[in-house]
């Protein structure tokens, strides 16, 4: 008898049994959507076991059994037999009842029957067996959403990118090898909670200065020179902010949290906002700072962006008073806006005395000093790594940088997010986890319990 690589692409399911990667993912989706645990007599069956059953059948000592073949559905891990009482009185498992809703599970497969199992790619494919279900990936209408959610959780937009990183055949198809790898990385509990992948993005900072009122306009300059998804800007009035947003792609797409002429600006196609806070220094607006709490739409990673405009040095009686005053401004901003253990970008005109204080607070400087603008700086907390920092020298701009940053994958469990699935506790109780939640619903707070907001969250402008 020819040998087959029977165990290739097989995945061990919670509670035992094995299925091929794509079929296993479908089974886990059904469990997450309410199919009771247990009640399955056979998943994968080895070629040797099939041969034994066939010999017993030929000898008149066993039930009808198919001739052993490496292409048989059970041998490929593409079928399951549910508990129904066999050919005797109908005593179905709860799982069989769930799968056959919409039809009559007591009967053998009927022409034109429409069972709940069909949406997941499972059909009764043996005319004489009411208990046998075979899987077809092409018929699985639930597959695409689960695939998308798992890829996003790992930080991938395309199947090809995931396949390339995993050393799989790069064909763009979510075949059994791809699903086996996805399940290995996202868990067997239906897309179990795990830390999202590291997030790469571009951040820009600028004090716009004379550019705010000139040509070609600040929006065009930011788009062509910096081209980032999130900015900390100073020196921009409300009218200039709106003009920038219009130039970048529209005010529905580009959102802002401002205080005075200082603002955090972000692309809402890429970032969700989950809260803000601000502070004015010594009642001297436009001096102040604002914090925006942002969450990536692509993989759920979160960070804070704090834009700062300290009081101008020429507003103090002496340089010594200016240094002390600006240091007090920064202290107020950090004490009011900095959230412990949240990855944070702090940028703006923070004052020349800022480096020692920010270093003591655990920040790392990401921008080099600019002659004549020593107070204009960009700083990063732990959890954010800088890949490159590009300064821009323009006579109309009060210093500007484009930073290529990486928001690191979290090491602990506090930032883990469940897409959908069955938890270990649920398995022990035979229950079902968070059901039909999808990643984007979770990003909106449906399953994440909000974002731990300490502040009321007004809508962005």
pLDDT at 410: 58
What is the chain's mean pLDDT, rounded?
82
On the question of pLDDT at 73 being above 70, the answer is yes
On the question of pLDDT at 437 being above 70, the answer is no
On the question of pLDDT at 132 being above 70, the answer is yes
On the question of pLDDT at 205 being above 60, the answer is yes
Q: What integer is the mean pLDDT of 236-245?
A: 91
- Given pLDDT bands bounded at 50, 70 and 90, which one contains residue 353? confident
Residue 337 main-chain phi, psi, to 5 deg: -110, -25
pTM for the whole structure? 0.54
Distance between start and end Cα atoms, the chain: 71
Q: What integer is the mean pLDDT of 304-325?
A: 85
Q: Which range among 67-71, 86-90, 332-336, 415-419 shows the weakest confidence by mean pLDDT?
A: 415-419
Judging by beta carbons within 10 Å of its beta carbon (0-12, 13-18, 19+), is residue 64 exposed, middle or buried? exposed
Q: What percent of the chain has pLDDT over 90?
A: 52
Q: Do domains 10-142 and 199-407 have the same CATH topology?
A: no
On the question of pLDDT at 137 being above 90, the answer is yes
Q: Which range among 33-42, 90-99, 243-252, 308-317 shows the weakest confidence by mean pLDDT?
A: 308-317
On the question of pLDDT at 419 being above 80, the answer is no
Max alpha carbon distance in the chain (Å)?
106
Of the candidates 89, 85, 42, the residue with the CA atom closest to the CA atom of residue 66: 42
Distance, C-alpha 133 to centroid of its chain: 33
pLDDT at 179: 96
- Tens digit of pLDDT for each residue in 78-112? 999 999 987 778 999 999 999 999 999 999 999 99
pLDDT at 325: 85
Alpha carbon distance 395, 370 (integer Å): 13
pLDDT at 319: 82
- Given pLDDT bands bounded at 50, 70 and 90, which one contains residue 160? very high
How far CA 197 is from CA of 3, 101, 149, 278, 410, in Å, comes to 39, 38, 13, 30, 8
Kindly give, in sequence order, each residue whose CB lies less than 8 Å from that of residue 265, ignoring residues fewer than 6 positions away. Answer: 230, 231, 232, 233, 241, 244, 245, 254, 255, 256
Q: What integer is the mean pLDDT of 415-426?
A: 32
Q: What integer is the mean pLDDT of 29-38?
A: 91
pLDDT at 364: 96
Alpha carbon distance 371, 427 (integer Å): 62
- Given pLDDT bands bounded at 50, 70 and 90, which one contains residue 441? very low
Q: What integer is the mean pLDDT of 7-18?
A: 89
- Given pLDDT bands bounded at 50, 70 and 90, which one contains residue 62? confident
Q: Which range among 19-23, 262-266, 389-393 shows the weakest confidence by mean pLDDT?
A: 389-393
Q: What integer is the mean pLDDT of 189-197?
A: 51
On the question of pLDDT at 221 being above 80, the answer is yes
Q: Which range among 65-74, 132-141, 203-212, 292-301 shows the weakest confidence by mean pLDDT?
A: 203-212
On the question of pLDDT at 199 being above 60, the answer is yes
How many Å is the Cα radius of gyration of the chain? 29
Q: What integer is the mean pLDDT of 59-84?
A: 90
pLDDT at 75: 93
- Given pLDDT bands bounded at 50, 70 and 90, which one contains residue 285? low
The answer regarding whether domain 10-142 maps to CATH 3.30.1380.10 reads: yes
Judging by beta carbons within 10 Å of its beta carbon (0-12, 13-18, 19+), is residue 413 exposed, middle or buried? exposed
On the question of pLDDT at 47 being above 50, the answer is yes
Domains of the chain by residue range: 10-142, 199-407
The answer regarding whether domain 199-407 maps to CATH 3.60.10.10 reads: yes
On the question of pLDDT at 398 being above 60, the answer is yes
């Amino acid at each position: 008898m020819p040998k087959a690589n029977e165990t290739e692409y097989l995945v061990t399911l919670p509670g035992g049994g094995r299925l091929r990667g794509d079929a296993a993912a479908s089974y886990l989706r059904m469990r997450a959507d309410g199919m009771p645990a247990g009640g399955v007599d056979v998943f994968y069956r080895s070629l040797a076991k099939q041969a034994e059953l066939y010999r017993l059948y030929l000898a008149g000592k066993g039930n009808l059994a198919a001739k052993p073949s490496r292409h048989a559905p059970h041998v490929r891990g593409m079928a399951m037999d549910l508990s129904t009482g066999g050919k005797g009185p109908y005593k179905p498992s709860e799982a069989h009842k769930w799968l056959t809703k919409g039809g009559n599970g007591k009967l053998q497969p009927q022409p034109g029957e429409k069972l709940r199992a069909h949406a997941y790619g499972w059909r009764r494919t043996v005319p004489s067996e009411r208990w046998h279900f075979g899987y077809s990936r092409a018929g699985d209408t639930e597959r695409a959403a689960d695939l998308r959610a798992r890829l996003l959780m790992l930080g991938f937009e395309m199947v090809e990118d995931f396949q390339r990183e995993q050393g799989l055949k790069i064909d763009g198809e979510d075949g059994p090898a791809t699903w086996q790898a996805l399940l290995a990385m996202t868990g067997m509990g239906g897309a179990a909670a795990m830390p999202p992948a590291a997030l790469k993005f571009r951040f820009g900072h600028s004090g716009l200065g004379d550019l705010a009122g000139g040509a070609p306009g600040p929006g065009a300059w930011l788009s062509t020179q910096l081209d980032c998804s999130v900015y900390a800007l100073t020196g921009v009035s409300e009218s200039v902010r709106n003009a920038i947003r219009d130039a970048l792609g529209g005010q529905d797409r580009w959102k802002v949290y401002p205080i005075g002429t200082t603002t955090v600006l972000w692309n809402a196609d890429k970032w969700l906002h989950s809260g803000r806070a601000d502070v004015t220094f010594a009642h001297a607006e436009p001096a102040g700072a604002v914090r925006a709490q942002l969450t990536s739409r692509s993989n759920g990673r979160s960070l804070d962006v704090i834009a700062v405009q300290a009081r101008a040095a020429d507003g103090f009686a002496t340089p010594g008073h200016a240094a002390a005053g600006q240091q007090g401004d920064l202290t107020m901003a950090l004490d009011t806006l900095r959230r412990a253990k949240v990855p944070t970008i702090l940028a703006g005109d923070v004052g020349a005395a800022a480096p020692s204080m920010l270093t003591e607070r655990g920040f790392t400087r990401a921008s080099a000093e600019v002659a004549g603008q020593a107070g204009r700086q960009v700083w990063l907390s732990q959890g954010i790594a800088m890949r490159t920092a590009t300064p821009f020298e323009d006579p109309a701009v009060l210093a500007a940088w484009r930073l290529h940053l990486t928001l690191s994958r979290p090491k602990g469990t506090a930032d883990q997010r469940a897409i959908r699935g069955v938890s270990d506790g649920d398995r022990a109780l035979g229950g079902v986890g968070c059901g039909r939640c999808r990643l984007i619903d979770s990003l909106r707070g449906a399953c994440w319990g909000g974002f731990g907001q300490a502040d009321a969250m007004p809508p962005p402008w």
